[in-house]
């Protein structure tokens, strides 16, 4: 199993640009989530999904969109990037009812 | 609402010395508790977890943690640290079915001096 994969590894955007961070898992996990990590703030939940077609907001959802059309994929979209979205983004997945999460390697995003 | 407090932002210990990283949580029921480690530029690796049962749990790399319900704590310990243990450590609390969110503390950065 590849586990949780994320692409790209690094990305630089200009303010106002849009992009999609990709996340995929091959463990047939129902639950997937996106976190952002900022210095001194730990990981904060952006959006999560408990299954295909079902998404919900986390702690810091503004400026981000998600969709879940398949069990495997959970892309995170930035429609109009802002410097405040400069961060490291982690995708995670787990089985529903089992809280142990498996994390991807992260995407480091810089918005100029 | 669930929350996690890691009161130590940065800890420095000598190689071979013992280590204890503190974690306090707030959760309305029996929590699921985790410690993750993050090396520089890397993702998060699960060190250990507590779901139920024995309150002293063993993890990878020689780490252990003790769940103390009366103190709402889940402190991480290691009897003798190695230079390779230098990293950032995150405590997290989560629930089970119906409460899918995992809440992280702000992390403790561990520096090892020779």
Tell me: the pLDDT tens digits for A43-78?
Answer: 999 999 989 999 999 989 999 999 999 999 999 999
Instruction: Calculate the alpha carbon distances from B67 to B4, B35, B45, B52, B93 in Å.
Output: 14, 12, 20, 9, 12
What span, in angstroms and rounded, lies between the C-alpha atoms of A21 and A44? 17
- For residue B63, what are its two tokens? 């780490």
Nearest to A29, CA basis, from A75, A97, A77, A76: A97
Neighbours of A62 (CB within 10 A): 9
Contact between A87 and A10 (Cβ < 8 Å): no
CA distance A44 to chain B (A): 7
Segments in chain B below pLDDT 50:
none
Interface probe, candidates B8, B44, B49, chain A, greatest A C-beta count within 10 A? B44
Could you tell me how many CB contacts below 8 A there are between chain A and chain B? 55
Residue A46: closest C-alpha in chain B: B101
Query: What's the pLDDT score for residue B30?
Result: 78
Q: Name chain A contacts of B51, Cβ cutoff 8 Å.
A: 99
């Amino acid at each position: 199993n590849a586990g949780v994969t994320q692409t790209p590894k690094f990305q630089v955007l200009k303010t106002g640009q849009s992009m999609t961070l990709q996340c995929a898992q091959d463990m047939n996990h129902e639950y997937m989530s996106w976190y952002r990590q900022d210095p001194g703030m730990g990981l904060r939940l952006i959006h999560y999904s408990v299954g295909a077609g079902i998404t919900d907001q986390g702690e810091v959802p503004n400026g981000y969109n998600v969709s879940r059309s398949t069990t495997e994929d959970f892309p995170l979209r930035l429609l109009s990037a802002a410097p405040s979205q400069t961060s490291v983004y982690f995708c995670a997945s787990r089985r529903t009812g089992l809280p142990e999460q498996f994390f991807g390697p992260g995407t480091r995003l810089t918005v100029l | 609402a669930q929350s996690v407090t890691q009161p130590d932002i940065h800890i420095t210990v000598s190689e071979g010395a013992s280590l204890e990283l503190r974690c306090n949580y707030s959760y309305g029921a029996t929590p699921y508790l985790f410690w993750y480690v993050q090396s520089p530029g890397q993702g998060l690796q699960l060190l250990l977890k507590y779901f139920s049962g024995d309150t002293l749990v063993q993890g990878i790399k020689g780490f252990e943690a003790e769940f103390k319900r009366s103190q709402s704590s889940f402190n991480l310990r290691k009897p003798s640290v190695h230079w390779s243990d230098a990293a950032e450590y995150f405590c997290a609390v989560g629930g089970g079915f119906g409460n899918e969110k995992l809440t992280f503390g702000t992390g403790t950065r561990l520096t090892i001096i020779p």
